[in-house]
Homo-oligomer: A and B are copies of this chain.
């Protein structure tokens, strides 16, 4: 198991909300993460489309897994998200995090959400603050 896999394992095992969303891990690496989930009825808003908060939350989980993958605890500081297409019940969504910058104190990620047709649902840009504490005691 790589460090990124160990970190993901530890984080995911305790992450109640990511479990509620039904996030499946497609892959994880140093600074990257790919997730998949399917839109459930409980995720809809009053217009019968996915609540923007759920799209954000899935991206935010991918962001958290990617920015913690180096072994040090990192926390979300600023995020900007743009919504370009809605999704309906039963749609499968793919969430992919890419590291754009890794500094000592901060790091930056882009997370794209795509539907099965490959259309862009949202783009999320997240800045993390990197603490000096390890995600897993003794490993970092």
Contacts and interface: CB of A to CB of B under 8 A. Distances in A.
Most buried by B among A44, A82, A106, A127: A82
- Interface majority SS on A: helix, strand, loop or mixed? mixed
Q: How many copies does the complex hold?
A: 4
Interface size class on chain A is 35 or more
A103 B42 CA distance: 28
B57 A52 contact: yes
Interface string A107-129: 01010000000001001010101
A76 B83 contact: yes
Interface string A43-65: 11111100111101111110010
Nearest to A11: B46
A42 B58 contact: no
A103 B83 CA distance: 12
